[in-house]
Protein backbone atom coordinates (compact mmCIF):
# COMPACT_ATOMS: atom_id res chain seq x y z
CA UNK A 1 0.00 0.00 0.00
CA UNK A 2 2.86 2.37 0.88
CA UNK A 3 4.47 1.68 -2.51
CA UNK A 4 1.19 2.43 -4.28
CA UNK A 5 0.82 5.70 -2.38
CA UNK A 6 4.43 6.57 -3.22
CA UNK A 7 3.85 5.90 -6.92
CA UNK A 8 0.75 8.08 -6.90
CA UNK A 9 2.64 10.82 -5.11
CA UNK A 10 5.42 10.59 -7.69
CA UNK A 11 2.93 10.94 -10.54
CA UNK A 12 1.34 13.95 -8.88
CA UNK A 13 4.79 15.52 -8.51
CA UNK A 14 5.62 14.88 -12.19
CA UNK A 15 2.36 16.45 -13.37
CA UNK A 16 2.87 19.39 -11.04
CA UNK A 17 6.35 19.99 -12.39
CA UNK A 18 5.08 19.72 -15.95
CA UNK A 19 2.48 22.39 -15.25
CA UNK A 20 4.94 24.72 -13.53
CA UNK A 21 6.73 27.68 -15.09
CA UNK A 22 10.00 25.75 -15.40
CA UNK A 23 9.37 24.53 -18.95
CA UNK A 24 8.26 27.92 -20.36
CA UNK A 25 11.22 29.53 -18.59
CA UNK A 26 13.62 27.15 -20.30
CA UNK A 27 11.91 27.76 -23.64
CA UNK A 28 12.14 31.54 -23.26
CA UNK A 29 15.76 31.27 -22.24
CA UNK A 30 16.52 29.13 -25.27
CA UNK A 31 14.73 31.60 -27.50
CA UNK A 32 16.68 34.50 -26.00
CA UNK A 33 19.93 32.60 -26.50
CA UNK A 34 18.99 31.84 -30.11
CA UNK A 35 18.34 35.53 -30.80
CA UNK A 36 21.61 36.51 -29.16
CA UNK A 37 23.48 34.05 -31.33
CA UNK A 38 21.66 34.94 -34.54
CA UNK A 39 20.13 31.47 -34.82
CA UNK A 40 16.46 32.36 -35.27
CA UNK A 41 15.18 30.96 -38.57
CA UNK A 42 12.33 32.89 -40.24
CA UNK A 43 9.00 31.06 -40.06
CA UNK A 44 7.72 29.60 -43.32
CA UNK A 45 3.93 29.46 -43.61
CA UNK A 46 1.82 27.34 -45.94
CA UNK A 47 -1.32 28.53 -47.69
CA UNK A 48 -3.94 27.56 -50.23
CA UNK A 49 -5.92 30.05 -52.29
CA UNK A 50 -8.77 29.49 -54.72
CA UNK A 51 -8.06 30.73 -58.23
CA UNK A 52 -10.95 30.21 -60.64
CA UNK A 53 -12.06 27.11 -58.77
CA UNK A 54 -8.59 25.56 -58.46
CA UNK A 55 -6.79 25.38 -55.14
CA UNK A 56 -3.27 26.74 -55.52
CA UNK A 57 -0.75 26.08 -52.77
CA UNK A 58 2.12 28.41 -51.91
CA UNK A 59 4.84 28.86 -49.32
CA UNK A 60 5.46 32.27 -47.83
CA UNK A 61 8.04 33.74 -45.48
CA UNK A 62 9.68 37.00 -44.53
CA UNK A 63 8.54 40.53 -43.65
CA UNK A 64 5.29 41.49 -45.34
CA UNK A 65 6.63 44.93 -46.24
CA UNK A 66 9.97 43.70 -47.65
CA UNK A 67 10.83 43.44 -51.36
CA UNK A 68 9.17 40.36 -52.86
CA UNK A 69 11.14 37.43 -54.25
CA UNK A 70 9.00 35.06 -56.33
CA UNK A 71 10.35 31.51 -56.65
CA UNK A 72 9.10 29.57 -59.69
CA UNK A 73 9.81 25.85 -59.66
CA UNK A 74 10.58 23.36 -62.40
CA UNK A 75 9.61 19.83 -63.42
CA UNK A 76 8.98 17.36 -61.80
CA UNK A 77 9.06 19.13 -58.47
CA UNK A 78 7.22 21.97 -56.72
CA UNK A 79 7.93 24.77 -54.25
CA UNK A 80 9.48 21.95 -52.22
CA UNK A 81 12.68 22.52 -54.23
CA UNK A 82 13.07 25.89 -52.49
CA UNK A 83 12.48 24.63 -48.94
CA UNK A 84 16.09 25.24 -47.87
CA UNK A 85 16.54 28.55 -49.70
CA UNK A 86 13.35 30.21 -48.45
CA UNK A 87 14.44 30.69 -44.80
CA UNK A 88 17.80 32.06 -45.95
CA UNK A 89 16.18 34.76 -48.08
CA UNK A 90 13.34 35.46 -45.68
CA UNK A 91 15.51 37.34 -43.21
CA UNK A 92 15.24 40.41 -45.46
CA UNK A 93 12.81 39.52 -48.25
CA UNK A 94 9.16 38.58 -48.62
CA UNK A 95 9.42 35.19 -50.30
CA UNK A 96 6.52 33.59 -52.21
CA UNK A 97 6.80 30.15 -53.81
CA UNK A 98 3.70 28.64 -55.47
CA UNK A 99 2.98 25.14 -56.76
CA UNK A 100 1.49 25.08 -60.26
CA UNK A 101 -1.70 23.03 -60.68
CA UNK A 102 -0.71 19.42 -61.28
CA UNK A 103 2.36 19.79 -59.06
CA UNK A 104 3.05 19.65 -55.36
CA UNK A 105 0.15 20.44 -53.05
CA UNK A 106 -1.95 22.32 -55.61
CA UNK A 107 -5.02 20.74 -57.18
CA UNK A 108 -4.52 18.54 -60.21
CA UNK A 109 -7.77 18.83 -62.20
CA UNK A 110 -8.46 16.36 -64.99
CA UNK A 111 -6.56 17.40 -68.10
CA UNK A 112 -9.78 17.39 -70.14
CA UNK A 113 -11.28 20.02 -67.82
CA UNK A 114 -8.27 22.26 -67.23
CA UNK A 115 -5.96 24.13 -69.58
CA UNK A 116 -2.48 22.80 -68.77
CA UNK A 117 -0.44 25.41 -70.61
CA UNK A 118 2.43 27.67 -69.67
CA UNK A 119 0.33 30.72 -70.42
CA UNK A 120 -2.33 29.51 -68.02
CA UNK A 121 0.32 28.91 -65.37
CA UNK A 122 1.60 32.46 -65.86
CA UNK A 123 -1.95 33.78 -65.53
CA UNK A 124 -2.49 31.75 -62.35
CA UNK A 125 0.71 33.09 -60.79
CA UNK A 126 -0.40 36.58 -61.82
CA UNK A 127 -3.76 36.02 -60.12
CA UNK A 128 -2.03 34.77 -56.98
CA UNK A 129 0.15 37.87 -56.85
CA UNK A 130 -2.96 39.99 -57.35
CA UNK A 131 -4.66 38.34 -54.39
CA UNK A 132 -1.56 39.02 -52.32
CA UNK A 133 -1.44 42.64 -53.56
CA UNK A 134 2.09 42.22 -54.91
CA UNK A 135 2.97 44.89 -57.45
CA UNK A 136 6.71 44.31 -57.91
CA UNK A 137 8.93 41.28 -57.54
CA UNK A 138 12.28 39.73 -58.24
CA UNK A 139 11.93 36.30 -59.87
CA UNK A 140 13.99 33.14 -59.40
CA UNK A 141 13.20 31.01 -62.45
CA UNK A 142 14.27 27.41 -62.96
CA UNK A 143 13.31 24.89 -65.67
CA UNK A 144 9.52 25.29 -66.21
CA UNK A 145 9.71 28.39 -64.06
CA UNK A 146 11.56 30.24 -66.83
CA UNK A 147 8.75 30.28 -69.42
CA UNK A 148 6.18 30.83 -66.68
CA UNK A 149 8.15 33.77 -65.32
CA UNK A 150 9.04 35.23 -68.71
CA UNK A 151 5.42 35.09 -69.86
CA UNK A 152 4.54 36.92 -66.65
CA UNK A 153 7.25 39.48 -67.47
CA UNK A 154 5.76 40.05 -70.93
CA UNK A 155 2.41 40.69 -69.27
CA UNK A 156 3.81 43.10 -66.65
CA UNK A 157 7.29 44.15 -67.80
CA UNK A 158 7.59 46.98 -65.28
CA UNK A 159 6.90 44.77 -62.28
CA UNK A 160 10.08 42.68 -62.55
CA UNK A 161 12.71 44.18 -60.26
CA UNK A 162 15.39 41.54 -60.85
CA UNK A 163 15.98 38.08 -62.33
CA UNK A 164 17.75 35.04 -60.91
CA UNK A 165 18.08 32.41 -63.62
CA UNK A 166 19.03 28.85 -62.70
CA UNK A 167 18.99 26.31 -65.52
CA UNK A 168 16.03 28.00 -67.16
CA UNK A 169 16.08 28.37 -70.92
CA UNK A 170 15.23 31.24 -73.27
CA UNK A 171 17.45 30.37 -76.26
CA UNK A 172 17.29 27.63 -78.87
CA UNK A 173 20.96 26.84 -78.22
CA UNK A 174 19.81 25.40 -74.89
CA UNK A 175 17.58 22.70 -76.36
CA UNK A 176 20.00 19.85 -77.04
CA UNK A 177 19.74 16.07 -77.52
CA UNK A 178 17.56 15.50 -74.48
CA UNK A 179 14.81 17.44 -76.25
CA UNK A 180 14.82 15.49 -79.52
CA UNK A 181 11.92 13.13 -78.58
CA UNK A 182 9.97 16.09 -77.21
CA UNK A 183 10.58 18.08 -80.40
CA UNK A 184 9.29 15.09 -82.38
CA UNK A 185 6.10 15.27 -80.30
CA UNK A 186 5.79 19.00 -81.00
CA UNK A 187 6.14 18.37 -84.71
CA UNK A 188 3.85 15.35 -84.90
CA UNK A 189 1.31 14.89 -82.12
CA UNK A 190 0.72 11.17 -82.50
CA UNK A 191 -0.17 8.63 -79.80
CA UNK A 192 3.19 6.95 -80.45
CA UNK A 193 5.18 10.15 -79.92
CA UNK A 194 3.13 10.96 -76.83
CA UNK A 195 3.65 7.51 -75.37
CA UNK A 196 7.39 7.72 -76.03
CA UNK A 197 7.62 10.51 -73.45
CA UNK A 198 6.16 8.40 -70.65
CA UNK A 199 9.73 7.50 -69.66
CA UNK A 200 10.18 11.09 -68.46
CA UNK A 201 7.59 10.53 -65.73
CA UNK A 202 9.06 7.26 -64.44
CA UNK A 203 10.76 6.97 -61.02
CA UNK A 204 14.17 6.29 -62.52
CA UNK A 205 14.00 9.52 -64.53
CA UNK A 206 12.91 11.54 -61.51
CA UNK A 207 15.88 10.21 -59.56
CA UNK A 208 18.16 10.84 -62.56
CA UNK A 209 17.21 14.51 -62.62
CA UNK A 210 18.34 14.90 -59.03
CA UNK A 211 21.52 12.83 -59.19
CA UNK A 212 23.01 13.18 -62.66
CA UNK A 213 25.92 15.59 -62.90
CA UNK A 214 26.10 16.28 -59.18
CA UNK A 215 29.55 16.92 -57.76
CA UNK A 216 28.83 14.78 -54.70
CA UNK A 217 25.91 12.37 -54.64
CA UNK A 218 26.11 12.33 -50.83
CA UNK A 219 24.68 15.87 -50.89
CA UNK A 220 21.46 14.72 -52.53
CA UNK A 221 18.58 13.87 -50.22
CA UNK A 222 16.70 10.80 -51.55
CA UNK A 223 13.53 12.25 -50.04
CA UNK A 224 13.46 14.51 -53.11
CA UNK A 225 12.33 11.82 -55.53
CA UNK A 226 10.47 10.14 -52.69
CA UNK A 227 8.44 13.35 -52.42
CA UNK A 228 8.00 14.11 -56.13
CA UNK A 229 7.19 10.68 -57.54
CA UNK A 230 4.00 9.92 -55.58
CA UNK A 231 2.62 13.27 -56.74
CA UNK A 232 3.54 12.47 -60.33
CA UNK A 233 1.82 9.11 -59.89
CA UNK A 234 -1.54 10.60 -58.92
CA UNK A 235 -4.39 9.31 -61.10
CA UNK A 236 -4.56 11.31 -64.31
CA UNK A 237 -1.21 13.03 -63.79
CA UNK A 238 0.46 11.24 -66.69
CA UNK A 239 -1.80 13.06 -69.13
CA UNK A 240 -1.20 16.35 -67.33
CA UNK A 241 2.55 16.04 -67.74
CA UNK A 242 2.29 14.87 -71.35
CA UNK A 243 0.08 17.86 -72.16
CA UNK A 244 2.73 20.13 -70.64
CA UNK A 245 5.54 18.49 -72.62
CA UNK A 246 3.57 19.29 -75.74
CA UNK A 247 2.76 22.84 -74.71
CA UNK A 248 6.40 23.57 -73.91
CA UNK A 249 6.77 23.87 -77.67
CA UNK A 250 4.73 27.08 -77.53
CA UNK A 251 7.50 28.71 -75.51
CA UNK A 252 10.11 28.48 -78.26
CA UNK A 253 8.36 30.94 -80.64
CA UNK A 254 8.26 33.36 -77.70
CA UNK A 255 12.03 33.26 -77.18
CA UNK A 256 12.54 36.40 -79.34
CA UNK A 257 9.97 38.25 -77.22
CA UNK A 258 11.63 37.08 -74.01
CA UNK A 259 14.95 38.30 -75.38
CA UNK A 260 13.42 41.62 -76.37
CA UNK A 261 12.21 42.03 -72.80
CA UNK A 262 15.76 41.43 -71.56
CA UNK A 263 17.20 44.03 -73.94
CA UNK A 264 14.56 46.69 -73.40
CA UNK A 265 13.96 46.43 -69.66
CA UNK A 266 17.49 45.37 -68.67
CA UNK A 267 16.47 43.77 -65.37
CA UNK A 268 19.39 43.20 -63.00
CA UNK A 269 20.19 39.54 -63.60
CA UNK A 270 22.09 36.83 -61.78
CA UNK A 271 22.67 33.57 -63.65
CA UNK A 272 23.68 30.54 -61.57
CA UNK A 273 23.86 27.44 -63.73
CA UNK A 274 24.59 23.80 -63.05
CA UNK A 275 27.04 23.19 -65.88
CA UNK A 276 26.56 19.40 -65.89
CA UNK A 277 22.81 19.53 -66.56
CA UNK A 278 21.80 17.41 -69.56
CA UNK A 279 18.25 18.80 -69.65
CA UNK A 280 19.14 22.49 -69.78
CA UNK A 281 22.87 22.39 -70.52
CA UNK A 282 25.31 25.25 -70.18
CA UNK A 283 24.86 25.97 -73.91
CA UNK A 284 21.69 27.81 -72.91
CA UNK A 285 23.35 30.03 -70.32
CA UNK A 286 25.92 32.10 -72.24
CA UNK A 287 23.42 33.38 -74.86
CA UNK A 288 21.76 35.42 -72.10
CA UNK A 289 24.78 37.71 -72.25
CA UNK A 290 23.86 38.75 -75.79
CA UNK A 291 20.78 40.47 -74.43
CA UNK A 292 21.88 41.06 -70.83
CA UNK A 293 25.57 41.96 -71.17
CA UNK A 294 25.77 43.15 -67.56
CA UNK A 295 24.33 39.95 -66.10
CA UNK A 296 26.39 38.22 -63.42
CA UNK A 297 27.07 34.61 -64.44
CA UNK A 298 28.36 31.70 -62.37
CA UNK A 299 28.78 28.13 -63.63
CA UNK A 300 28.67 25.55 -60.87
CA UNK A 301 29.98 21.99 -60.87
CA UNK A 302 26.56 20.44 -60.45
CA UNK A 303 23.49 19.26 -62.35
CA UNK A 304 19.85 20.16 -62.89
CA UNK A 305 18.71 20.71 -59.29
CA UNK A 306 21.69 22.81 -58.29
CA UNK A 307 20.17 23.94 -54.98
CA UNK A 308 20.32 20.36 -53.70
CA UNK A 309 24.08 20.20 -54.25
CA UNK A 310 25.39 23.75 -54.11
CA UNK A 311 23.17 25.69 -51.69
CA UNK A 312 26.21 26.79 -49.62
CA UNK A 313 27.66 28.43 -52.75
CA UNK A 314 24.42 29.67 -54.27
CA UNK A 315 22.77 31.21 -51.23
CA UNK A 316 25.49 33.84 -50.63
CA UNK A 317 25.54 34.71 -54.35
CA UNK A 318 21.76 35.13 -54.42
CA UNK A 319 21.52 37.04 -51.16
CA UNK A 320 24.37 39.38 -52.06
CA UNK A 321 22.85 40.01 -55.49
CA UNK A 322 19.46 40.87 -54.00
CA UNK A 323 21.06 43.07 -51.36
CA UNK A 324 22.84 45.07 -54.05
CA UNK A 325 20.01 45.27 -56.57
CA UNK A 326 16.90 45.66 -54.44
CA UNK A 327 16.23 48.42 -51.99
CA UNK A 328 13.37 48.88 -49.56
CA UNK A 329 11.16 51.81 -50.49
Closest alpha carbon to 291 in 158, 136, 150: 150
Backbone angles phi, psi at 95, to 5 degrees: -100, 130
Residue 80: active-site member: no
| Integer Cα distance of 131 and 171 in angstroms | 32
SS (H, E, C) the chain: CHHHHHHHHHHHHHHHHHHCCHHHHHHHHHHHHHHHCCCCCCCEEEEEEEECCEEEEEEEECCCCCCEEEEECCCCCCHHHHCCHHHHHCCCCEEEEECCCCCCCCCCCCCCCCCCCHHHHHHHHHHHHHHCCCCCEEEEEECCHHHHHHHHHHHCHHHEEEEEEECCCCCHHHCCHHHHHHHHHHHCCCHHHHHHHHHHHCHHHHHHHHHCCCCCHHHCCCHHHHHHHHHHCCCCHHHHHHHHHHHHHHCHHHHHHHHHHHHHHCCCEEEEEECCCCCCCHHHCCCHHHHCCCCEEEEECCCCCHHHHHHHHHHHHHHHHHHHHCCCC
| Catalytic residue from among 120, 294, 304, 319 | 304
Rounded (10°) angle between helices 203-211 and 223-232: 140
Residues belonging to the active site: 304
Amino acid sequence: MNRLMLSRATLVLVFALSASTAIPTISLAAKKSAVEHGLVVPQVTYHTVDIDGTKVFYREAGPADAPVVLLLHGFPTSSHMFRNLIPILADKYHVIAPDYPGFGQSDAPDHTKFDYTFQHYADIVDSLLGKLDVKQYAMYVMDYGAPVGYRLALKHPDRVSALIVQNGNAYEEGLKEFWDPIKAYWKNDTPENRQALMVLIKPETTKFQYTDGMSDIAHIDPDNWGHDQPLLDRPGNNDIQLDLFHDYGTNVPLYPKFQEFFREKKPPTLIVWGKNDKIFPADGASPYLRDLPHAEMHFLDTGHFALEDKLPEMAPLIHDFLDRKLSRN
